[in-house]
Structure 1
């Protein structure tokens, strides 16, 4: 189990949170945490964004530009 100190809305303060045994195989990096004070559950979600591809932008700008005849 891993422990973290986070703010708990129910306890209205910084409390120790711990990750329960994870059945999904996350181990210590489990996104589910439980407040040791009141038992409130928290899910920590992370997002990964891919960088936009420059080739797609160049093709889009070329098709929208007009040329004189």
Structure 2
């Protein structure tokens, strides 16, 4: 995990460190940023950014 941000974590109920896990979808290799972030405290995860790339990731995983 490389990138880190501090954001409010709804599951922890406090500010927490979020990291980007290794991207299985190939983001970053094409110059884009992976939208996936995970709380280092509890593991809660979310997608950041506009819904375009996130919707594409979810559609690809569902296929």
Q: What is the number of residues matched between the two proteins?
A: 48
| CA RMSD, 1 decimal | 1.9
**Gapped regions of structure 2 (runs ≥ 5):** 53-63
Output the TM-score relative to the length of structure 1: 0.60
Higher-Rg member (1/2): 1
Which residue in 1 is equivalent to 2:27?
26
Higher relative contact order (CA 8 A, sep 6+): 2
Output the TM-score relative to the length of structure 2: 0.65
1:42 aligns with 2:46: yes
